[in-house]
Amino acid sequence: MRTDTPWSTLPARDHLLAGAVDAAGAPVLDVVVPVYNEEKDLEPCVLRLHDHLARTFPYAFRITVADNASTDRTPQVAARLAAALPRVRSYRLEEKGRGRALRTVWSHSDAPVLAYMDVDLSTDLNALLPLVAPLISGHSDLAIGSRLARSSRVVRGSKREFISRAYNLILRSSLAARFSDAQCGFKAIRREVAQRLLPMVEDTGWFFDTEMLVLAERAGLRIHEVPVDWVDDPDSTVHIVRTATEDLKGVWRVGRALAVGALPLDRLVRPFGDDPRDRALSGVPRGLARQLVGFCVVGALSTLFYLVLYSLFRLGVGPQMANGAALLVSAVANTAANRRLTFGVRGRGGAVRHQAQGLVVFAIGLALTSGSLAALGAASGSPSHGTELAVLIAANLAATVLRFLLFRAWVFPERASGAPSASAAPASAGRAVDTHHELGNVR
């Protein structure tokens, strides 16, 4: 179907497919298969994938073999496949790295939907259409296969299962990731999203997937998850220990960059759909549930910090002095952490006022804890150190609940309501388009 309608005025779904429909031979989907020394598995993989897409995929497609500087006959096999099958092409890179291969091929592809899958085809190919359908329809921005979803069927060894779950637990606890499976070799992205997102992804190896997903999620992009049937490849050449080490280094690097605000996430303006997460990307207002989780995490760490300080100060001064000094130091740290991590306030504007209000909240907490210590002393005379700590923990729990309510209602009321300030309006406000079309309506 051809149309003379200006490209910029097309509905989002037709906008997505316009290039594929109008340009001769341009595909809707480009599936990248990154390989390194896969001369044995490459041909059966591509033939099977090509046959599946030809039978089941309703739009034009392309398969791109991305050769990561292979030293065996992989380049010759890829060239032979590209010559024999018109919808297959090969791309040679002189440097290794799965992330480098995906970034290079995706950046040069003309397909509106870009995907990749591992050469071992561990994932059942029947999940491919459900993976890319939300991207074609315009409902989602990225899509990932998940081996950890409840309805997934996975066959693999206990060692890999443990490593995978432990890694995703690390991502959830350290980077607040909400996606369930970062490293499944089965993902897709819309080209216009990739054009904005890929320049921000630094990693060129196995951590590429994780970094891309974390940045996308922090920017408010929609990530669609598809439960997959997955069978482990016992002949995989992935070096687990080295890969895990590099991944942990990547987690530290990205976490540090997010903590100091070094990533320009405000550049990732969503060009599709109206989403309640479309806020100022440099300071995203959080909902009550997310604020509560963040506050509890900060509170738990602050309590540990407070108890350590109290124990240290108690060596030289009495319980009341030790409690006051420990609570003061931990309160300043707690307010700063909640300001940034729980309520998403960045920059120095209002920091002094927030700390002053935080000290008022601290005074209330001090009254609760000091009163508890005074009551304990009056009741038992000379309580043990363990009893003091137990009473302080109970008093701090009560003070924590009150602190959260005061932070939401008084210290950070604009963030608690979820309404962005005037300066927080996204650059794309007023020009978002409705993209919630069903795949079946695409012509």
Q: Cβ distance 409 to 355 under 8 Å?
A: no
For residue 309, what are its two tokens? Answer: 């300080």
For residue 272, what are its two tokens? Answer: 């599709």
> Helix, strand, coil % (nearest 5) of the chain?
55, 10, 35
Q: Which of these is catalytic: 118, 209, 247, 278?
A: 209
- 25 class by beta-carbon count within 10 Å (0-12 exposed, 13-18 middle, 19+ buried): exposed
- Comparing C-alpha atoms, which of 196, 105, 215 is closest to residue 427? 196
Q: How far apart are CA 362 and CA 381, in angstroms?
A: 27
- 69 class by beta-carbon count within 10 Å (0-12 exposed, 13-18 middle, 19+ buried): middle
Taking every pair of C-alpha atoms in the chain, what is the biggest distance, in angstroms? 90
The question of whether 209 is a catalytic residue gets the answer yes
For residue 251, what are its two tokens? Answer: 């987690």
Angle between the N-to-C axes of helices 42-56 and 74-84, in degrees from 0 to 180, rounded to the nearest 10: 30
Which residues, in sequence order, are CB contacts of 422 under 8 Å at separation 6+? none
For tokens 């924590």, what's the residue? 400
Q: Which residues are catalytic?
A: 209
